[in-house]
Structure 1
Amino acid sequence: MLLFPIAVLTLLTALLGIMYLDYVVDPEKNLHDFPIALVNQDVGDVIATGGQQRQVNFGNQITEALEKGVPADKVDLRVISISEAERQLQSGAVYGAIVIPSDFSKRLGILGVGSVIPGEMERPIITLQTNPRTGAFGTQIVLRVGDQALTEVNKQVGKQLTDQVAEQLKPQPGGPPAPELSGATRVTLADPVNVVVQQYHPLPDGTGQGLSAFFYALLLLLAGVVGAMVIHTMIDAQLGFVPTEYGPWYVHYPPTPISRFSTLLIKWGVMVVTANIVSAVYLSVATLLDMPIDHPLALFLYSALAIIAVGITCLSTLAAIGSAGLLVNLILFIVLGLPSSGGTVPIEATPKYFGWLASFEPMHQVFLGIRAILYFDASFEAGLARGVWMAVVGVAIGLVVGAVVSRFYDYKGLHRTNRVAA
């Protein structure tokens, strides 16, 4: 009697330890398929070298260097157009973008000429755009990857530019001696590219640096799981299937002659009504706290749908396997759901099995839907479509499983009556 709860608790805590520590202890090591866009708009330029004119495109050289230098097993570097990059940034499909401007080669050539001819020199720019709406942790990864990759590229471009200038300064036979480069000029040539970090579509105040969507999704999940547990227990108590204790008082009503399926229908109905009320409460609280909400109706409707999906599934699990369903619901929706949600650490920075869990775990689907509504203008492409249809699938699975199992129990005459254990 005593060993069983100890064993169950030990296994549960071990699972908690693995899931909650494995996904956060070393994101750099776990990094895989992390999507970053690379946009090369450089049109090239004609430069004079050794008395001859030649066409160059430093943007192409940098693109090739980045493709070779960025580890393909860790970063999914997508070489795309500026319009496609903006579309993917707007939908949260990429965590950031490296943008090489159209006049990059021209400005780099001017820098080389300016190092020989006295005057002010302006370094060409490469823009590293972050996507703060995908989360603060994803932004930090973009900055780290971009800094490492562009620093190495800067060294290569600097060496090439220095060699080019040295070629230009070679004295002609019988001509005047070559001018000496100043120390400042040499430093500029060695580090010719100015990397500018920009936020693409910055988040407004009141979003917790991109964490408000995660915690809002967590509230919805808890409302479904805890709500199902409360509804299941309280309705069973009122129908006389379980006792109710109020401090030292103990009440156990006579069992109501009602089928399992009818009982489940009552619980489902209460869950649907409660979900809409809770959704309205959350929306009101968020509004009072000045949380930016551009699409309140969409947030209310999707929140209610998500709570209903989770609650109906939890109630069906409890109807199917009884009290053990509490543990199953805890593991399915909380233990496995939170670390695989992608709400704090990107899925691409966690062990690969978290990506498998995220393909079906309810928490990830709810997070995508809420994030799309709060941060991406309720765009279906940004995850709202997936969040909606996965919630609908969850409702359907819960209804089918609950109806089939409870009707089967009723058909077999397995009625809910008080039985005394032998």
Structure 2
Amino acid sequence: MASTENSASSPKARHLTPIRWALPIVVVTLLASLLGVMYLDYIVDPEKNLHDFPIALVNQDDGDDLGTPEKPQKVNFGDQVAKGLQDAVPSDKIDLRVLGINEAQLQMQSAQVYGTIIIPSDFSKRLGILGVGSVVPGEISKPVITLQTNPRTGAFATAITQKFGEQALSQVQEQVGKQLTEQVKAELAPAPGGPPAPELTAATTLVLAEPLDIVVDQFRPLPGGSGEGLTAFFYSLLLLLIGMVGAMIIHQLIDSALGFLPTEWGPWYVHYPKAPISRVRTLLLKWAAVVTMAVLVSAALMAIAEGLGMPIDKPLLLFIYGAFVITAVGVTCTSTLAAVGTAGLIINLIIFIILGLPSSGGTVPIEATPKYFGWLANFEPMHQVFLGTRSILYFEGNAQAGLARGFWMSALGLAIGLVFGLGITAYYDRKGLERKPSAEAATPA
């Protein structure tokens, strides 16, 4: 039978001592400070934090023969450009991977690289034609170097790739321009006793100074409704928040219904009689509620996303993955609450939110954050959830693009939550540690 006594009027009500009054303020201040460090440190200076940022370099240049039949001269300007890029790019910031075109495309499709620099097969031939054509009438075209961005890895990663390409290829433009200008001047140099060399016109000088056509292109552009690559991050955030917050709500309401916690409705205070149920059975009841919630909420999120026009190529896979992630997070959170009680709220907040969001890689790539974020990303739930969601939404569920890691890490988290929750509650039950007020708490102050 429910009781409706007002706790403030109870003679056993305990007054807050200064230490008890100050404790929540200290806890919130410490959490806020940790939150400030984590969130500001990863966004303040991404360029300074840049490390191991993967870019592919593809050199398809076949070279060309610029000599005469008597003195053949085989040249490969593509090799020179590739070597110059490798020497100029800071290896501590950029991981420049020299790959074939097929391997580079595979790594782009699986989100292993953020961009690709492509030197085409006719690069030397076109550069040689440009050198000759700059002083001979006729139509000529500049040799092309293509910078392919990978927009499905995120807008911030694309911006970093474009900035890198602008800086690195500008140096290539300048170096090739100087080399080509010197080569043309050498070819125009007069023979001993011959007529003077013709002067290069201003237009020719300008063409030779900037001989390359640098093209920025998108590799598999994102479809409309993808939020410039942010829908994967926010969908992942929803799955994580629902799993964590949903578990806390389920924990609170079931404990209230079983009489372990009081329930307040406005000015009314209700405390139901304590149900004769073990800790293990209570936890199993909460887990059943979490699983049911996960299925219903995943379906609701799918319907909302579809209604808002968000492109989903694999809806069934996203629904299953979403329900699985919510279940894994919810089970782990309820196990933490069952093990440590109210302090579990703080633990869950630190693990899933304070440490998780900055190390997710969903907005700023891990390679553009301080290195300890990369360490956190090895096990933090948010990063694993994001990789799986991004793979389903943008990379057709490619296992190598993050789905395999997202699934197995979520499965590991679920297993840890199940074993930990059952182990600790069974231990409490065997020790006779029932959920009831301690003798000290029951004694009037």
Return the TM-score normalized by structure 2.
Answer: 0.93
Q: After the TM superposition, which residues 163-182 of structure 1 pair with which residues of structure 2 at under 5 Å, given as runs? A: 163-182=182-201
1:355-399 per-position Cα deviation (integer Å, ceiling 9, x unaligned): 000000000000000000000001111100000011111110000
Instruction: Describe the shift of the 1:355–1:130 C-alpha distance in structure 2 as closer, same or farther (beyond 3 A).
Output: same
Q: Which residue does the alignment assign to 2:119?
A: 100
> What is the one-letter code of the residue matched to 1:271?
V
Q: Which residue does the alignment assign to 1:350?
A: 369
Q: Does 1:161 align with 2:180?
A: yes
Aligned-residue offset at 1:248: 0.6
Percent identical across equivalent pairs? 64
Q: Which residue does the alignment assign to 1:415?
A: 434
1:118 aligns to what SS in structure 2? coil
For residues 120 and 48 of structure 1, the distance between their equivalents in structure 2, rounded to whole angstroms, comes to: 22
Q: Which residue does the alignment assign to 1:386?
A: 405
Correspondent of 1:396 among 390, 412, 415: 415
Q: Which residue does the alignment assign to 1:213?
A: 232
1:198-238 per-position Cα deviation (integer Å, ceiling 9, x unaligned): 00000011000000000000000001000000000000000
For residues 178 and 52 of structure 1, the distance between their equivalents in structure 2, rounded to whole angstroms, comes to: 22
Q: Which residue does the alignment assign to 2:128?
A: 109
Runs of 4+ more than 6 Å apart = none
Q: Which residue does the alignment assign to 1:326?
A: 345
For residues 306 and 413 of structure 2, the distance between their equivalents in structure 1, rounded to whole angstroms, comes to: 28
Aligned-residue offset at 1:50: 12
Q: After the TM superposition, which residues 5-404 of structure 1 pair with which residues of structure 2 at under 5 Å, given as runs? A: 5-48=24-67, 52-404=71-423
For residues 103 and 410 of structure 2, the distance between their equivalents in structure 1, rounded to whole angstroms, comes to: 29
For residues 364 and 306 of structure 1, the distance between their equivalents in structure 2, rounded to whole angstroms, comes to: 12
Aligned-residue offset at 1:418: 3.3
Contact 1:241–1:418 (CA under 8 A) maintained in structure 2: no
2:66 aligns to what SS in structure 1? strand
Aligned-residue offset at 1:3: 1.8
Max radius of gyration: which structure? 2
Aligned-residue offset at 1:122: 1.4
For residues 177 and 115 of structure 1, the distance between their equivalents in structure 2, rounded to whole angstroms, comes to: 19
Instruction: Describe the shift of the 1:347–1:49 C-alpha distance in structure 2 as closer, same or farther (beyond 3 A).
Output: farther
For residues 305 and 170 of structure 1, the distance between their equivalents in structure 2, rounded to whole angstroms, comes to: 74
Aligned-residue offset at 1:119: 1.9
> What is the one-letter code of the residue matched to 2:380?
E
Q: Which residue does the alignment assign to 2:17?
A: none
1:43-86 per-position Cα deviation (integer Å, ceiling 9, x unaligned): 10010389843000001001110001000000000000000000
1:309 aligns to what SS in structure 2? helix
1:86-135 per-position Cα deviation (integer Å, ceiling 9, x unaligned): 00000110000000000000000000010121222311000000000000
> What is the one-letter code of the residue matched to 2:362?
G
> What is the one-letter code of the residue matched to 2:249?
V
1:377 aligns to what SS in structure 2? coil
For residues 174 and 163 of structure 1, the distance between their equivalents in structure 2, rounded to whole angstroms, comes to: 22
1:53 aligns to what SS in structure 2? coil
Say how many residue pairs are matched: 422
For residues 134 and 322 of structure 2, the distance between their equivalents in structure 1, rounded to whole angstroms, comes to: 61
Contact 1:40–1:60 (CA under 8 A) maintained in structure 2: yes
2:67 aligns to what SS in structure 1? strand
Aligned-residue offset at 1:175: 3.0
> What is the one-letter code of the residue matched to 1:233?
Q
For residues 278 and 176 of structure 1, the distance between their equivalents in structure 2, rounded to whole angstroms, comes to: 85
1:175 aligns to what SS in structure 2? coil
1:386 aligns to what SS in structure 2? helix
Contact 1:240–1:255 (CA under 8 A) maintained in structure 2: yes
Instruction: Describe the shift of the 1:148–1:50 C-alpha distance in structure 2 as closer, same or farther (beyond 3 A).
Output: farther
Relative to structure 2, which stretch is displaced further, 412-421 or 260-269?
412-421
For residues 434 and 211 of structure 2, the distance between their equivalents in structure 1, rounded to whole angstroms, comes to: 80
Aligned-residue offset at 1:176: 3.1
Aligned-residue offset at 1:6: 1.4
Contact 1:171–1:177 (CA under 8 A) maintained in structure 2: yes
> What is the one-letter code of the residue matched to 1:341?
S
Aligned-residue offset at 1:174: 3.7
Structure 1: segments with no counterpart, 5+ residues: none
Contact 1:203–1:209 (CA under 8 A) maintained in structure 2: yes
Relative to structure 2, which stretch is displaced further, 45-54 or 292-301?
45-54
Return the TM-score normalized by structure 1.
Answer: 0.98
For residues 372 and 267 of structure 2, the distance between their equivalents in structure 1, rounded to whole angstroms, comes to: 48
Contact 2:144–2:214 (CA under 8 A) maintained in structure 1: yes
1:315-370 per-position Cα deviation (integer Å, ceiling 9, x unaligned): 00000000000000001000100000000000000000000000000000000000
For residues 32 and 283 of structure 2, the distance between their equivalents in structure 1, rounded to whole angstroms, comes to: 31
For residues 161 and 265 of structure 1, the distance between their equivalents in structure 2, rounded to whole angstroms, comes to: 75
